[in-house]
Each structure stands twice: as C-alpha cells, then as structure tokens.
Structure 1
C-alpha cells in the first residue's frame, strides 16, 4: 500500500533531524491553547531537531487513559509487535496488515511519525519458515521485505531492517537466515528494503551495543563495510534496554563513532529496569540514568531521536522476562509521571518548578494517604500542576479525594485523571472510574492546567481515601 502522495511527502519530510518544527503535537488535554500549554516531550524534542516517542501494541489502543498520553505526549510511534513476520506473513505468501495498520492510522491521526519494526529477525517467526529449503529462503526473505516495506511505503520513516544478528561476543547469531543463507543475508535484506521504499531510512538494530565492546565493535565493522561497499544503510538503532545504575560510560562516544561513519543513530527501545519494588533512592537513580542517556543523544548531532519501549510501567515487557524486576519506564502503572519523566523533560529543555507541599492523612479501615502537589511548568498567566496520591495505609483503597484552596486569581481550566468540583475557591478532585484503587504504597496521579494572576503559591493540600 502506498500512501497518497501528499501525505507521503508530509510524513517523510519529518524524518531524522528534519523533525524540528514539523512535529509539534498537542497536549493530552483539550482546554488550554497551544500558546499557553506546557510543552510535551515530543514538542521539546522537536525543538531540538529530534523525536521522542514510544512503542505501543494493539491491545492498549482500547484504553482511553493510555491513548490520551500516547497520542498527546509523543511525536513518534514504533509498532511494538504487529509488523513482525509472524503477524504480517503468518502463512507463506499470505500477508495480513490489519493490526499494524491500526497503529499506523493512530499515529497518522495524531501527527506522529512511525518507525517500522522489524523486517528480518530470528524471533517471532511463523513456524513455516523452518521448513523452507535453504535454496529458497533468500527469495522468501526478499519477497517478505518487498511486501511489508512496500505496503508501508510513504508511511514509515525508519525501518529496523535486520534485528539482533550478533551474539554478545560479536559473532553472528546462528539464526535460520544465517544458517541457510549465510553472511550475505543482512546486505540482501537492506537491498530489498531500499528497492521497496527508497525514501525510508534503513537501520540495523540491536541490544547491548550502547557502549563500546565486542558486540558494538562487530556492528561497527558491519556498518563500515556496508558503507564502503555501497550497501544501503542509513542508521544504527541502539535498543538501550538498560539496568539501573549501569548506563555505559562510553555511550556518547559510541554514538559519535557510528555517526562518524556517516549514519544516523537512534535510541530505539529505551527502558531502565530496577529490582522492584520502587523506592525514592531507586527513582532518583533512574531519573539520573534517563538524564544521562538523553544528554548523550543530544550531544551528537546525528542522534536523531529516542523511543521508549512503551511509556507506562503497567505495559512494560520487563516483569514477564525478568522476574522481580520492572518499573523501567517514565510513567507508573496509573499514568503518573515518575521522576524519570521530569529528568527527560528537563534534559530536553523543559523547565520545572519544585513546590513545598503540606499533606494530611485521613481515612478509615486501615486506609490513608499523602498527596504531593508539584508545579511542573509556569508561563505568563498560567501554570501546569500535578498531584500524586500515595496510599500509606495497610489496605488497598477503593477511592480517594484531594482538596485545596485556590489562591486569589487562580482557576483550573482543564484536568485529567480525576473529577473536579469547585465551590468558590475550594477545589476538590476525586478519582476517575479507572484509578480509584491504589495498592498499599502505590500511587495515582492527576494533573491540571490553570490560570493565575500575580504570584502562584503552593497550596495547603488535603487527602483522604476510602
């Protein structure tokens, strides 16, 4: 499927460092005008000539609170699973794009560019691949790449053409493609992708290549060889599935050495996992780690963007693969922004204001809470604030409410993740239908945009749970 010419030109104009100025996306709330609203991560990244995006999967597209953040905060989307071979060609020669098309349509509706993921990978293959004779597999691979990349021609700005072709020691992974086709299969996949979509940027993508080591050296040598031979390659994707406190010290230098080969670099699947449960010290370290990674990308001109591997801890792949680990993303399970979000926000050039908050705890049946009020952005005549409710009791909550008195000249113009009522200057927010339950020591959060006249003092805030 080819995009209509006008749309194809619009999408492709937004690729790589041309992102700045073309990808401004709206807030996840409708009330404030773009002139007054605090910037999103996508807008901040675009101002620096980059994108900041998220991966997503089809089941989450039916979750309204989730899609409000996905569609409003980011200027790029990666199709997490449903562009992979097992979904797009489940039977030999029979292609199905239904699920991936839905994500691409969501991105188009929200003015977001799409990274395609992935054309050739050793994992998530349909079972019939293993039965293809060695002499036929190259043709099958070329046909798959031609069909999938051709279907999304003009809709996808980057393709992860080949994914994870190297072992940790830098040797070739013995995938079905390596065993039956040989070393040349990677180059052939890139050639087929270029023929199918001449305007998409073509990437090699892998994990544990963020720092300098045997595996990243092997990828470096591959890219260098391809450039010398004229094999079409435009970029390297560093997945960046990282561990708390273990960001490689050579990450910026490594990004730079790939850029010096004449290719772009993207951080394609960023998350930073920790041993759970979270605590304040782990949150602080994670925030610093995210800041380090974002700064490393910003320091290299050809580092074109960053994608987190989904944005909410509730939808992370980590706990299912690494038992006892998780909390790897920048939003928590209730879509509250974590300290890591604000580290990214500030690294991208956003400004935040820390406020002093008074909290109270009330409740019964073993329940109780604290509420933390934070002004996250201020501008002439307006501000954006976030309130985080933490369950400090001994049982899960069924609901919560927060109250405060608006200062003279303060009003609330729009609010999300809660239900607002006002009486004079008294504001009360109760939980929404989907976030009233908070586990012990868990959190929920709501945010709002307000107007102010003169000073914008932090209020005395109260909290109660049921």
Structure 2
C-alpha cells in the first residue's frame, strides 16, 4: 500500500504547524492561535482520533449533520473531533432548498457550512439533483413541458451554485441516476429531457463554479448485480462526451451480515480511477441484527474491510459515514430491517463501538512507521482463502488533507417525511 500522505493536499497547512519528532513515531499537531490538539501516536491508535489519522493518511473522513444536531454540544464535539468532513444530510436537497417554485431556503445548509468553517472541516455538497421521483418536489414532477422543466432545472442549479460558489469544494451533481435495484434508468422526471440531461447539469455546474469538484453518486453498486457495470458505462459515456466530471461516489449502504470481497471492491474502484477520476465511499453504514450476540464484532470487521479497500486504491479519497450515532440513523425509521439496526461507529450515548476501534486501527496501520498491535479482519477474495492484509509502508510523511467518513441512505423506494425534531426521515413506499 502506497503511503497516502505522499499524495495529501497541503492546502490546509496555512494555519497548521506540524512537528515531526524524528526520534520516535510521535506526531504533534498544533493549530496556530488555538490550544494544541492531543498527541497522536499512530503506533498506539488509542492516542489518536479518526480525524488525526485520516489527515496523516491523506484522505477525508466524514459524517452527516442536520442543522439542529450541530446545536447539541455532545454531537458537535464528536463530529468536530473525529471527522474532517461533513455532509448536510438533507439541508441541500431540492425539497429543502426550493420547496416551491420561487421559494428558496439555504439557511440550514448555511448553518452547517458555518460549523464546518469554524472547525476547519471540509464540506460535501449533497446534492444538486436527486434523480428519483420519490425525492423530487411535487411541483417539479408536475411540469409536463420539457422546455419548462429544463428551465426549472437550470434555475435550481444556478441559484444553488451561485449561493455557495467558492464555499463548497465538491458537489454530488446528480444522485442515483440508475434504478434503485436494477441497471436501467432511475424513475425520474428528468429523463423526459432526453439522455443528455445529466451532461447538461454537470456542464452548467462547472460554468457556475469552475473550482468545484463535480461528482456522480450512486447506490447499490456493491450488491445489485450488474449495477457497477451500468454505472461504469454511464461514466465512460460522460467522459467521452467531454463532460466535466471529477469523481464517482459509491454509497455503500451494506446489508446485515454481508461480507465484502475487499479485492473485488478495490478493483471496481480502480475501474473509475483508471479513467482519471477520484472515487469515494460516500454514505457508509452497516446494520446488524439486534439479536445476534456477535453482531458488533462482525460489524467491526466489515467496517475495517471497507476502509481497507479504500486505502488500497490510490484514487480513493474519502470515506463518509451516513450517520454519527446509532440513535440518529435513518435505517430505524424505514422498516427495512429489524430494529435497532445499530449501523454506525458510536452508540446512542456517543460511546465508540468496536467498529470505531476497527476503523481507527486500519487508519493507524496505514500511517504508522511501527505497525500498531491491532488484529485486522481477513480480506475476503473470490475463490481463495481469507488472508491478512500486508503491512503498510514503514515510511511516514505528514500532510494535512482529509479523510471523509460520511453517511446517507437508500435501499429501496423511500419517501422523505418530517420526523422527530423536524428531521427529514426516509420511509418505505408501498
């Protein structure tokens, strides 16, 4: 595994001084004008946060947030301490920013952006267009005239990109353009505009903010047969048409009990990096059966496999979790699995779970000159026996970039509704 820090961006070093003590594998990170962060020794993972290790690894690790959640001191503290990236869970979606024609509301997203700026975090814009009719405002779906619909689409992208130009560095321009469980087109009114509507959306977004990275985000490529190939074909067509696309997001909402074929997933990610694109895990969560006594350990192993796969691929730049605590997961409100699903790294009381330790161990091994004493789960490879991953590089460089660990959700047809505390939740549609 190539040392990720060698590719890390140094843009965030303007206000950060990093000191390397050559005599030991001990890293001190000091933020000018602020109290020093706790010492992080990657060879002793318990001394490090996920964020510190992700910065050293040169990747983004993120989670999601709603505006009301960042006013909770416990939530805000864990989010800022453990993650260097945040994704607004719902505040940037069309039904939140433009609930009716001519009505705009960016206030929720502005609050999350301000939180990110205050805590030196990057932010992912999610999303400009969700290509599923379930999540498209009724007033948009009711537009039958293609010319009028295209005008509404262009106006929405223009207003959103202009509001956040230069503030949000990466955008999921189109979310879930393929069928939820299948390989064809999604059930979206925007397909009535013809096959080029996705390309048009990307081109317009690039014109409005040329500095922003533009991403295509998709669900289910890790388990729906043929969906990875369908997504790869769509991306290739966009590139052949000269569309300004920078990356592909793979959501990774795992199924209970699933065991990832690590090398197969890494190979799928390389299908996109071979095209010159970046790739990211954008909405990771791993639900478990509530009655399985060994569920949390199995969950920890699966989290380690996903993060390990990302670290195996030079162009994998982010892991984002779709939720911070088990108590805030969208999965418990949709009725897909037995509850509680407990799919995240922290329990209801913000205490780290075995999955947290597993992710931290994988990150620490990737950056530590002295491999930490952690047991890694076997990598599952098709047609072969499980084997342990190879030890990472013994060279350590420091860099400041970001590992994003963030989450968000779709498993079957769902509809957004207002839940507790004004939170937009997902519900199944009969």
Instruction: Give TM-score, length-normalised by structure 2.
Output: 0.73
Indicate if the aligned counterparts of 2:158 and 2:208 stay in contact, CA closer than 8 A.
yes
Which residue number in structure 2 is paired with residue 75 of structure 1?
Answer: 84
2:141 to 124, 130, 134: 130
How many residues end up aligned between the 2 structures?
A: 334
Indicate if the aligned counterparts of 1:146 and 1:195 stay in contact, CA closer than 8 A.
no
CA 1:17–1:91: 2 relative to 1, 3 Å: farther
Whether 2:232 is the aligned partner of 1:193: answer no
1:292 to 301, 305, 311: 305
Query: Higher helix fraction: Structure 1 or Structure 2?
Result: 2
CA 1:152–1:323: 2 relative to 1, 3 Å: same
Q: Separation in 2 of the partners of 1:58 and 1:94?
A: 19
Which residue number in structure 2 is paired with residue 84 of structure 1?
Answer: 93
Query: SS state of the match for residue 276, structure 1?
Result: coil
Whether 2:253 is the aligned partner of 1:253: answer no
Q: Alpha-carbon deviation of 1:186?
A: 0.9
Q: Separation in 2 of the partners of 1:120 and 1:276?
A: 35
Q: Separation in 2 of the partners of 1:17 and 1:278?
A: 40
Q: Separation in 2 of the partners of 1:199 and 1:292?
A: 33
Alignment deviations for residues 292-313 of structure 1 (CA, whole Å, 9 cap, x no partner): 0001000111100110011210
Matches within 5 A, 1:17-416: 17-18=8-9, 22=13, 33-34=36-37, 36=39, 38-121=47-130, 122=132, 123-132=134-143, 133-167=145-179, 168-178=181-191, 180-210=192-222, 213-249=225-261, 250-277=264-291, 279=293, 281-321=294-334, 322-325=336-339, 326-349=341-364
* Deviates most, 104-113 or 242-251: 242-251
Structure scoring higher RCO (CA < 8 A, sep ≥ 6) equals 2
Structure 1 unaligned regions, length at least 5? 1-15, 355-466
Q: Alpha-carbon deviation of 1:273?
A: 0.7
CA 1:93–1:125: 2 relative to 1, 3 Å: same
Instruction: Give TM-score, length-normalised by structure 1.
Output: 0.68
Q: Alpha-carbon deviation of 1:66?
A: 1.1
Q: Separation in 2 of the partners of 1:97 and 1:305?
A: 25
CA 1:212–1:127: 2 relative to 1, 3 Å: closer
Q: Separation in 2 of the partners of 1:314 and 1:212?
A: 28
CA 1:92–1:260: 2 relative to 1, 3 Å: same
Indicate if the aligned counterparts of 1:21 and 1:46 stay in contact, CA closer than 8 A.
no
Query: Higher strand fraction: Structure 1 or Structure 2?
Result: 1
Indicate if the aligned counterparts of 2:260 and 2:302 stay in contact, CA closer than 8 A.
no
Q: Alpha-carbon deviation of 1:34?
A: 2.5
CA 1:111–1:343: 2 relative to 1, 3 Å: same
Q: Which has the larger radius of gyration?
A: 1
Q: Alpha-carbon deviation of 1:59?
A: 2.4
